[in-house]
Amino acid sequence: MISISGKKGFRFAFSFLSILLVILIAVPLLRMILSADPEVMRSTIADREVMASIFLTLRCALWATIACAILGIPLAYLLARWNFPGKSLVQGLVDIPVMIPHTAAGIALLMVYGRNFFLGKTLNEIGLDFVGTETGISLAMAYVSLPFLVNAAKDGFLAVDPKLERVARTLGASPWQAFFRVSIPLAWRSILSGSIMMWARGISEFGAVIILTYHPMTAPILIWERFQAYGLKYAKPVAVLLILLCLLIFALLRWLAEPKKEM
């Protein structure tokens, strides 16, 4: 009998609970992957519509992540370093896209960027259209997933000792140089982790995208449409292919983001 009060008992209890959670996550995925018809999988891989939809999804989520990194990292630094009136309100606004139903987020975006509304009309006249375009897909993905990047980057900057930035300033570095040579290098793992989570969340987005941009179809919308039209047999291979690609990509990115132990 292992004593739960000792070191071995502690490790056993935590290992058991962790394994249980991993099983709960992995079993449905493994069940779906292993039950896929190999013949249907081959035809799915050869289906240009499927591959175009998957690469469209990956591409739009990546553009959304890059755009939000440019805008979100400065906001994360501001939230981590400075106190200002309305800071709690700003932090709440950053978190809201995670909390509200994403169909509601899609409607909110449509009410601003749709062709029947002032801003949408104005942007459309200069050639920037968000309805039924890749730009609209990226916008919807960015809106619902930006909290992952901003909050992770903020936590990364909070972990950086401000004294290090002040030392850089006393040695003649400008605020820009201190930010890019001290803050970013020390917080980059958190920023990368947040970016990975944002990209992943963008890939999986359905509600906001389908409201703003039904066509061209992203992979989640294609899966839903095939399930509605043809049933589980033809929707499942698309889901399996997307899961396998995402698992490969994100496992590699997570491996790159992990600190390497010295031998």
Instruction: Encode pLDDT of 183-210 as tens digits.
Output: 999 999 999 999 999 999 999 999 999 9
Q: Is the pLDDT of residue 254 over 90?
A: no
CA 142, distance to chain mean position in Å, is 8
Residue 5: pLDDT band (50, 70, 90) is low
Task: Calculate mean pLDDT across residues 215-221.
Answer: 95
**CATH number of residue 189's parent domain:** 1.10.3720.10
The pLDDT value given to residue 263: 47
pLDDT exceeding 90 applies to what percent of the chain? 75
Residue 91: pLDDT band (50, 70, 90) is very high
Query: Is there a contact between 93 and 170 (Cβ–Cβ < 8 Å)?
Result: no
11 shares a domain with 137: no
Report how many domains make up the chain.
2
Give dist(CA 78, CA 59) in Å, integer: 29
Q: Is the pLDDT of residue 118 over 80?
A: yes
Task: Specify the residue for token string 């990226």.
Answer: 138
**68 belongs to a structural domain:** yes
Closest CA to 146 of 201, 79, 211, 86: 201
**262 belongs to a structural domain:** no
18 shares a domain with 59: no
**263 belongs to a structural domain:** no
Query: Is there a contact between 157 and 81 (Cβ–Cβ < 8 Å)?
Result: yes
27 shares a domain with 113: no
Secondary structure of 133-195 as H, E, C letters: CHHHHHHHHHHHHHHHHHHHHHHHHHCCCHHHHHHHHHCCCCHHHHHHHHHHHHHHHHHHHHH
The pLDDT value given to residue 37: 81
152 shares a domain with 88: yes
119 shares a domain with 8: no
Handedness of CA 169, 175, 178, 184 (dihedral sign): positive
- What is the domain extent for residue 17? 1-35
